[in-house]
Amino acid sequence: GENVEQHPSTLSVQEGDSAVIKCTYSDSASNYFPWYKQELGKRPQLIIDIRSNVGEKKDQRIAVTLNKTAKHFSLHITETQPEDSAVYFCAADNYGQNFVFGPGTRLSVLP
């Protein structure tokens, strides 16, 4: 089955700086990679996703890149704001039937 690793586990940046979170996956058959943001005590919410036929996707300050050959994908947040502080989870589909999540990255944006 699929295995997803995520780094770093914690990340602190100054407001306005960029943040990058990286994930690797094990199963080359995976082809859908969502990113979720989870604030303390709240539900995970999808912020961006990418499919394997696309190398990069951008939505305002958030972008995701995918390298299928190397089996890794990254989340990029530019011009970080305090409200970006949360735990971010990457995930990969597992035979198209469920998702395997990474362990999470706790992002702190310092004012």
Cβ distance to another protein smaller for residue 84 or 93: 93
Judged by CB under 8 A, does residue 84 bind another protein? no
Comparing CB distances to another protein, the nearer of 12 and 18 is 12
Nearer to another protein, 32 or 78 (CB): 32
Contact status: 107 vs another protein (CB under 8 A): no
Cα–Cα distances in angstroms (integers) from residue 2 to residues 23, 52, 72, 107, 109, in the given order: 13, 15, 13, 25, 31
C-alpha distances out from residue 5 to 8, 19, 35, 61, 62, Å: 10, 17, 13, 24, 20
Are the beta carbons of 21 and 4 closer than 8 angstroms? Answer: no
Among 11, 20, 22, 31, binds another protein (CB under 8 A): 31
> Per DSSP, what are the bridge partners of residue 7?
22
Q: Is 45 in the site for another protein (CB under 8 A)?
A: yes
If the CB atoms of residues 9 and 15 are measured against another protein, the closer one turns out to be 9
Q: 28, 55, 96, 110: which one contacts another protein (CB under 8 A)?
A: 96
Cα–Cα dist 80/16, whole Å? 5
Of the candidate residues 43, 60, 69, 70, the single one contacting another protein (CB under 8 A): 43
